[in-house]
A and B are shown apart, each in its own frame.
Chain A
Amino acid sequence: MHKTYNEIIQIAGDVITVEAEAIGYGELAEVQARSGVSLAQVIRLDGPRVSLQVLNGSRGISTNDKVRFLKHPMQVSFSDNLLGRIFTGSGAPRDNGPALSENMISLGGPSVNPAKRIVPDKMIRTGVPMIDVFNSLVESQKLPIFSVAGEPYNELLARIAMQAEIDLIILGGMGLKHDDYLFFKDTLEKHGSLAKSIFFIHTASDPTVECLLVPDMCLAVAEQFALQNKRVLVLLTDMTNFCDALKEIAITMEQIPSNRGYPGDLYSQLAKRYEKAVDFDTAGSITILAVTTMPGDDVTHPVPDNTGYITEGQFYLKGGRIEPFGSLSRLKQQVNGKTRDDHRAIMDRMIQLYAQYRETLEKRSMGFRMSAWDEKLLKYGQRFEKEMMALSVNIVLEKALDLGWDILSDVFEPAEVGIKDALVKKYWRKK
């Protein structure tokens, strides 16, 4: 019943073209090459000419290789059997487990009706004070970590994944280094979280096209679990690699590039994935934490720029710490009024004082004389960086707030911090 064609009329990049009939847009096919069988996806129809992107890459494909159309779009199996398993970007097992073929679901389903979303109001506690206190992560939020290559962003993702109180972790690796993949696996295993995790991993040595499928795989599975009342955390690293894969295919298809070679629909492509983050009215939720590496630490690069317009804030990871300036959780107001009465005051005031510390540092480096107030700020800033900002700090929110009061009380007089009297009275440490 599946029709087979064995004349490939064009091979360009990872895209092959055959002449075929009655093929659906987005349909999947199998290419039987000498090097093995690969999946391919229809990305353009033009009369009888059908263009497909080959998931395993076009290397070694011969013009007379067989192309068999499968009559269905890209799918992934969905069941509890996924838990604890590791797959490639095309859904094949990467561990030693069996391939899954039950209950196949399509990728990239329709978008959620905004009328069925609810305003998110549940905080996800991470144990990282720079997140919990200053930029709280909220269930159903979509948030990227902006950083340059070499920063410990994967370590940060793994830590958040282990500590967040959620039901399920789905990790999507795009262009992941093999040792990073092993790092995630070992960390979650050691922590006993592997059983509630699902991995879709594309490593740097795998074919480009598979990279494109990783977010869709993760989010299709996440959506099904969320509909079953599960609270799902999706980790995507690194979305810049995903965008570069998009760029590669777009240029192969001779699309007109818009900005630095990226296709004109980069925004829509990213939004289609990030907008899967959702808090369902009467069901579960999807939270997306993604890594976006910024080439040249440039936030105006098309990838971080388009991402910033889509996501609900961002964390800047710089020098091994989450930078308080520029980092933003757009949803924090939904949750930080309900934690502890001093949360917002500590959040605002500690950052303002830290900003003043930065100014003092500048003044000092320019050779200005340090006043008594400057000396206090210097003392404060150093303690803040060491005790709150360092990524190694791992304490619950309430402990972090207490620590904030400890530092403030040690360094300043009550009148100097500018916090409401009632709160100072309640929390100020007596010396």
Chain B
Amino acid sequence: MSAELRKGYVSGVNGNMVSVMFEDRVVQNEVAFVHQGKNRLKSEVIRVRGKRAELQVFEDTNDVKVGDVVEFSGELLSVELGPGLLGQVYDGLQNPLERLAHDHGFFLKRGIYLNALKEDQLWDFTPLVKKGDKVRSGVKLGSVLEKIFAHMIMVPFDLSGELEVTEIASKGKHDLTAVIASLRDDQGRTHAVTMKTVWPVKVPIRAYQKKLKPSQPLVTKIRIIDTLVPVAIGGTFCTPGPFGAGKTVLQHLLSRHAEVDIVIIAACGERAGEVVELLKTFPELIDPRTKKTLMDRTVVICNTSSMPVAARESSVYTAVTIAEYYRQMGLNVLLLADSTSRWAQAMREMSGRLEEIPGEEAFPAYLETRIASFYERAGVVLLRDGTMGSITIGGTVSPAGGNFEEPVTQSTLKVVGAFHGLSRDRANARKYPAVDPLQSWSKYESFIAQDKVKAGTAILKRSEEVDQMMKVVGEEGTAMEDFLDYLKGDFFDAVYLQQNAFDEIDEATASDRQAYVFDVLLGVIVKKFSFQDKEEARAFFLNLRQKFVNWNTMPFLSDPFKLLHKEIEAQINSK
């Protein structure tokens, strides 16, 4: 970047938007610093008109004065990438919160920015290429061990064409700033590679061969999702729901149980308390797949609701960029954004200050394209070395009034592959997870055969119809056959779709167990029972339900599990 110092002067302040008269030139979306007294407030150029640029400031703008100096950096808003990201908790601008707390106490004082990665930490580097090798951007030059992963040190993503390795460090300990490789491009220029790189957050990393269609199911261990409305590895899904429906709880469950390598959690504009709970519990929860703590595979980006709004806008980009970085290593990454509505609101606030012509509910006209391009950063990619990596993105949506007919929900539904709509009625009835099985949909395929899933959905629909009918004609006026369909649907919902998050075993069901249990359940759904009267039928299903609920809490294929299975089969066959 150019060494010249470009400056400007504040000419207006409106909330977190500052107008600046600049002298020379500015770059759209470059980072600038507003000098407020001793503070340097980080900001981003978001509009230029004539010699006047508008900046969104990532901090509180109190006491900024007209005439204050603004310094332009020439760099786009970027994140640091390198070993040491896992287990960290960052704010929306990638400030490490633990170290901030250690250095600066209780409060997030403005104008303080720390390096995201500890530069002086030593990492044991193992080269994977040798001098004279030809490489391209994204190719793995070597690796270090980060927690449980071989963290790849790659050719910088912005280099184009074929490059030759002119120097490569030998096996040994290096810090993040040490040059570990030199590469010469086809024009003879040399590029030094360190373990730490930076990348602009709003630009997708594209150092791969091609993007593939997501086809493998992602096992989340949440039965209603995996069976009825599955998510694919590299796919996208959204979870809208009114407050109190359990959006955040569901996301926390996903972050704990989903079968992926890395989880990035973007807590965007939500309660600080929820993040704190996550921060205190994750280091103590053991991931059954790796036997290490969950924190070891997690990065948290948290810009909670009271933290500056502009940083909230950038926090989802920070998260997705880190996700892309790990994807480039051939890992499967799950990005959970909670909540994308707060992100959209941050855009709305800024748009309002810019006095742009508003769209629906005052959201900016570009809301849809922004949401679409964010979710487009998900996907399965074929990397240059033939391995695959993926990012799966799941976002919650907090629709105003719980009404899904609002711009953020609607724009999101257009671009995602699965929709997990949470319903207030289900939450009020304590039916968790409160995903509405009839309203939700998915374009991906489950690991359970399609025709089986269809039979399940059909009985739910039928059950719902009969339930509505019974409200009018009463139980007496309902035919036995219809009544049985009602009971079957209700049973399916109670013992399979609902899961008890407070039970260690029931809270997460692996795919083999889901397939196993679903088959037993299907036996109940398709069977033609004969009962004397409705009372007998009801008692039968209540009893079966109790057995199933107990069954759900037993270790898979354990002796009690097998024993109870026999009892269940015996009961099913008795009628």
Contact = CB atoms under 8 A, between A and B. Distances in A.
Contacts of A379: none
A21 interface: yes
A227 interface: yes
Contacts of B302: 114
A310 B13 contact: no
Interface in B127-163: none
A233 B341 CA distance: 31
Most chain A C-beta atoms within 10 Å of own C-beta, residue among B97, B101, B403: B101
A310 B272 contact: no
Interface in A328-351: 328, 331
Contacts of A119: 273, 276-277, 280
B560 interface: no
A111 B305 CA distance: 10
A300 to B, nearest CB: 3
A256 interface: yes
Contacts of A268: 269, 305, 309, 345-346, 349
Contacts of A117: 272-273, 276
A308 interface: yes
B349 A110 contact: no
Contacts of B10: 45
B67 A22 contact: yes
Contact of A264 (B242, B280, B348): B348
A110 B304 contact: no
A113 B107 contact: yes
A44 interface: yes
Given A259-B400, A271-B305, A25 B276 contact: no
Given A264-B348, A271-B305, A115 B107 contact: no
Interface stretch (B57-65, B188-196, B206-214): B57-65
Interface string A305-336: 11011101100000000000110100100000
A73 B306 contact: no
A133 interface: no
Main secondary structure of the interface of A (DSSP, over half): mixed
A227 B107 CA distance: 11
A192 interface: no
Contact of A23 (B66, B306, B400, B428): B66
Given A111-B306, A271-B306, A118 B276 contact: yes
Contacts of B273: 117, 119-120, 140, 312, 331
A272 B349 CA distance: 15
Interface in B267-303: 269, 271-273, 275-277, 279-280, 302
Contacts of B63: 24-27, 73
Contact of A24 (B64, B109, B244, B403): B64
Contact of B361 (A46, A116, A258, A310): A258
B101 A113 contact: yes
A114 B107 contact: no
Contacts of B342: 267
Contacts of A331: 273
B11 interface: yes
Contacts, number: 173
Contacts of A23: 65-66
B12 A47 contact: yes
Interface in A4-56: 21-27, 44-48
A75 B274 CA distance: 31
B428 A326 contact: yes
Contact of B400 (A48, A274, A302): A302
Interface size class, chain B: 35 or more
A316 to B, nearest CB: 12
Contacts of A278: 272
A280 interface: yes
Interface string A123-144: 0000000000000000010000
B525 interface: no
A115 B305 CA distance: 15
Contacts of A264: 345, 348-349, 351-352, 362
Contacts of A272: 305-306
Contacts of B97: 113-115
Contact of A112 (B67, B272, B279): B272
Given A114-B97, A264-B362, A312-B273, A25 B62 contact: yes
A275 interface: yes
Given A26-B62, A113-B97, 15 more contacts: A25-B61, A44-B13, A110-B108, A110-B110, A114-B304, A116-B101, A119-B273, A119-B280, A259-B400, A265-B352, A278-B272, A280-B106, A300-B400, A300-B402, A305-B243
Name the 10 nearest CB pairs between A and B, nearest first: A300-B401, A271-B305, A275-B306, A258-B362, A24-B63, A115-B101, A26-B62, A308-B243, A45-B13, A111-B306
Interface of A: 21-27, 44-48, 73, 108-120, 140, 227, 255-259, 263-265, 267-268, 271-272, 274-276, 278, 280, 283, 300-302, 305-306, 308-310, 312-313, 325-326, 328, 331
11 contacts: A24-B64, A111-B304, A116-B101, A119-B276, A255-B352, A264-B348, A265-B352, A272-B305, A300-B402, A302-B400, A310-B305
Interface of B: 10-15, 19, 60-67, 89, 97-98, 100-101, 104-110, 242-244, 269, 271-273, 275-277, 279-280, 302, 304-307, 309, 342, 345-346, 348-349, 351-352, 355, 358, 361-363, 398, 400-403, 428
